[in-house]
Structure 1
Amino acid sequence: MSVSVDPSFLKPAQQQPAQALRPHAEHAFAAELTALAAQDDRPRPPRWKLSPWGVATYLLGGTLPDGTVITPKYVGSRRLVEVAVSTLATDRALLLLGVPGTAKTWVSEHLAAAVSGDSTLLVQGTAGTPEEAIRYGWNYAQLLAQGPSRAAMVPSPVMRAMAEGRTVRVEELTRIPADVQDALITVLSEKTLPIPELGQEVQAVRGFNLVATANDRDRGVNELSSALRRRFNTVVLPLPESVEAEVDIVARRVDQIGRSLDLPAVPDGITEIRRVVTVFRELRDGITSDGRTKVKSPSGTLSTAEAISVVTGGLALAAHFGDGVLRAGDVAAGILGAVVRDPAADRVVWREYLEAVVRERDGWSDFYRACREVSG
């Protein structure tokens, strides 16, 4: 016996506070989504706010016929984005896989915002994520007073997405215990969520799908079973291919974050952004950008996301304790914190890199001095 979920379960996401520190994607980019929806005349899958073409345009950016500029949310391969969007238009779930900092969460949020107009149906995976986060829980006061009933149920984001025909997100899937992961198998294969306590089930309506993210470095933490992995189409998000691409990504995100925090404009610090990105890439790759010098890699990931954090922190220093222009001294401490995760081994790696590479690089003397000063 199938059952529709009580409408009280399906309340829309709360309206964003006017001064939300980090607005959801559907609120932060509402104007772009509205403009796209108005001019997107291509076929849309059931309950999608945009066509697959519109979703891809929202993520990758472009200019609409009326001149509206859609800013890029993801800088990378168009084909990867097209495959991800096309997957959501089928009955297969989407798994975004990659090393830390490759924008998996960012892409999943924007996909959900563009497809369903709501990115808040979210299960955050941790070692302590319970099965109720994927299936449903109970209001125990009502359960004890009235026994099992729909009124006593607390639906999970997955159950709500199934009933509403929306996109649900599962972050860090491989951090969820294996027995909890397996609760997704029936949902993804049969498109039903059994409720044995009531002898009922919730069936997914058209438009439902799931986007999960997983970390390459978490392989072996809670490896996906073959049965569950078959239910996903996996798209691997790579690190940016070039320095220029990574600088562009960092500059765009720092500009967005900086504007929300009233920090200086990014162009004032583009030189330091390039330096941070160069340092991270060389330490990550184990070789300098000119291919001449091999360097040791530290234990951390030195991801693009970490570069964004370093530069944003530097901008805050420049704004509040400097002249508003991002300089080497503003990013030095942040770089040290990102690189030196293991105080013993990583400090040696960092000092060798400073002396062998940074010290000898033309035009980097101020950067070298600032890094030496904070490194002690």
Structure 2
Amino acid sequence: MNDLSPVSSPRQGSDAEVLRPHAEEQYAEELHLLAKEDDRPRPPGWKLSPWAVTTYLLGDGDRVTPKYVGARRVVEVAVATLATDRALLLLGVPGTAKTWLSEHLAAAISGDSTLLVQGTAGTPEEAVRYGWNYARLLAEGPSVEALTPSPVMRAMAEGRVARVEELTRMPSDVQDALITVLSEKTLPIPELGREVQARRGFNLIATANDRDKGVNDLSSALRRRFNTVVLPVPATAEEEVDIVARRVDQLGRSLELPGAGTGLEEIRRVVTVFRELRSGVTEDGRTRVKSPSGTLSTAEAISVLTSGIALATHFGDGVLRPADVAAGIVGAVVQEPVSDRVAWREYLETVVRERPGWQDFYRACRGVS
């Protein structure tokens, strides 16, 4: 049985009114350009060739903007995995762009990044397999019309890429509902005596936070169905500054805020603070510092700076200054009220205070600490 029609949602207005368009909508021109010029072999069901998908993700330095800043080989392995019959697991600490990469992979391969299951402790098995319209089920009994397909079932029937976010947050029995899907490429519907067989082009991308080990570890049977790609934190400060600046610019445009250009100095400071506290040592390697309990990820740096730009725009002169980011930094660093506050104050007094050119930043952070 492969005749399940997708339930399409009407658009809620134009793209200009949408706070965050889906990747395939936001970058439709780039995807169209790549598809038009792409003369390389495409796996069955793919909108682009693996080479073009990689170009879409990493950019070409001209007409295609980079969506992921990192090692090319990481992206190539992820794309090559999806061109086989193995599913892809993106693993990494929070803030390493796992969700971002999975969305853009699905958009480039299938032209649809919306077939998404969000994993939580309360995710039911129906979110992975299928559910029922209980009004019709009671009135008519089991039927195709009473069936409510999950995003995974729809991806199988349509030959698209499904996404599962935070896989290890889901209960183990719900995780294991994927085993038959990934190994046999079928999803049985015993109530109807039928099954959905995956069409060519179907695959699945899952993400997991490696700090969640021990929450709901994957069974060995399920882990074997995935090829795992570990997404590293940015290797250098310059690379992380580049990532943060790009994302702050993108978010600023959607929120009608100024770009990050005038605040590049503050971006460098925030990235430096986060990297030093993450690693437990200053960038020159001379001073050891205590690491707080939080992750202080690239994503959190983006959030701090976006909030800072909003403060500068609405309550300042529009120029990002230390006072605009100080409260956000303290809020990100001090998660545990006692130990994190001690670590932050020690870092502030032994590193920030003594750093040339950082006195205004030191005063701003000291004022909100």
| 1:199 to partner: Cα distance | 1.0
For 1:54, give the aligned amino acid: A
Q: Distance in 2 between matches of 1:41 and 1:255?
A: 33
Helix, strand or coil for the counterpart of 1:119?
coil
User: 2:222 is matched with which residue?
Assistant: 228
Distance 1:16 1:33, change over 3 A: farther
1:265 is displaced (CA, Å) by 1.8
Task: Give the counterpart letter for 1:245 in structure 2.
Answer: E
1:208 Cα offset (Å): 0.2
CA contact (8 A) 2:4 2:157 kept: no
Closer, same or farther: CA 14–219 of 1 in aligned 2, 3 Å: farther
> In structure 1, what is the equivalent of residue 144 of structure 2?
150
How does the TM-score come out when normalised to structure 2? 0.98
Q: Aligned letter for 2:250?
A: Q
Equivalent runs, 1:36-51 vs 2, <5 Å: 36-51=34-49
Asked if 1:345 is matched to 2:343, the reply is no
Q: Show the 5 A alignment for 1:78-97.
A: 78-97=72-91
CA contact (8 A) 1:16 1:23 kept: no
Partner Cα distance (2:182, 2:348) in 1: 50
Task: Tell whether the 8 Å contact from 1:13 to 1:120 is kept in structure 2 after alignment.
Answer: no
The equivalences for 1:234-273 within 5 A come to: 234-273=228-267
Alpha-carbon distance, 1:6 to partner = 2.8
Match of 1:60 among 58, 61, 69: 58
d(CA) in 1 for partners of 2:274 and 2:299? 11
Gap regions ≥5 residues in structure 2 = none
Partner in structure 1 of residue 169 of structure 2: 175
User: How far apart are 1:5 and its partner, in Å?
Assistant: 3.3
Cα distance change on mapping 1:127 and 1:223 into 2, 3 Å: same
For residue 14 of structure 1, report the CA deviation from its aligned partner: 4.1
Match of 2:13 among 11, 17, 20: 17
Matched, 1:298 2:296: no
Aligned to 1:137: 131
1 CA distance for matches of 2:79 and 2:4?
Answer: 30
2:360 paired with 1:366: yes
Of 97, 100, 103, the residue aligned with 1:103 is: 97
* 1:368 Cα deviation after fit: 0.0
CA–CA separation in structure 1 for the residues paired with 2:322 and 2:227? 43
Which structure 1 residue ranges, 4+ long, deviate > 4 Å from structure 2?
Answer: none
Q: Distance in 1 between matches of 2:270 and 2:247?
A: 14
Partner Cα separation in structure 1 for residue 303 and residue 189 of structure 2: 43
Match of 1:30 in 2: 28
> What is the percent sequence identity of the aligned residues?
77
Measure the CA separation in 2 of the matches of 1:16 and 1:111.
Answer: 24
Q: Is the Cα contact below 8 Å between 1:57 and 1:70 reproduced in 2? A: yes
Q: Normalised by the size of structure 1, how large is the TM-score?
A: 0.96
- Give, as a single letter, the amino acid of the residue that structure 2 aligns with 1:173: L
Superposition CA RMSD, Å: 0.9
User: 1:325 and 2:319 equivalent?
Assistant: yes
SS at match of 2:145: helix
Say if 2:4 and 2:154, in contact at 8 Å, map to a contact too: no
Q: Which amino acid aligns with 1:103?
A: A
Aligned pairs for 1:266-285 within 5 A: 266-285=260-279
Determine the C-alpha separation between the residues in 2 that align with 1:79 and 1:16: 38
Name the aligned partner's letter for residue 45 of structure 2. R
Letter of the structure 2 residue corresponding to residue 199 of structure 1: G
Q: 1:219 to 1:167 in 2, by over 3 A?
A: same
After superposition, the C-alpha distances for 1:292-351 in whole angstroms (9 at most, x for unaligned) are: 000000000000000000000000001001111101000000000000001111111100
Q: Is the 8 A contact 1:13 1:118 kept in 2?
A: no
Q: Structure 1: where are the runs of 5+ without partners?
A: none
Amino acid at match of 2:18: A
Q: Does residue 190 of the first structure (1) align with residue 184 of the second (2)?
A: yes
Deviation track 1:129-149 (CA, whole Å, cap 9, x = no partner) reads 000000000000110011111
Matched, 1:313 2:307: yes
Deviation at 1:55, TM superposition (A): 0.4
Distance 2:347 2:366 in 1: 11
Aligned pairs for 1:199-238 within 5 A = 199-238=193-232
Moved more, 99-108 or 261-270: 261-270
Q: Deviation string for 1:229-254 (max 9, x for gaps)?
A: 00000000000000000000000000
- Structure 1 residue 15, shift from structure 2 partner: 3.4
Q: How many residues align?
A: 367
Asked if residue 289 in structure 1 is aligned to residue 283 in structure 2, the reply is yes
Question: Residue 13 of structure 1: CA displacement?
Answer: 5.5
Matched to 2:340, the amino acid is D
SS in 2 for 1:96: strand
Structure 1 residue identity aligned to 2:334: V
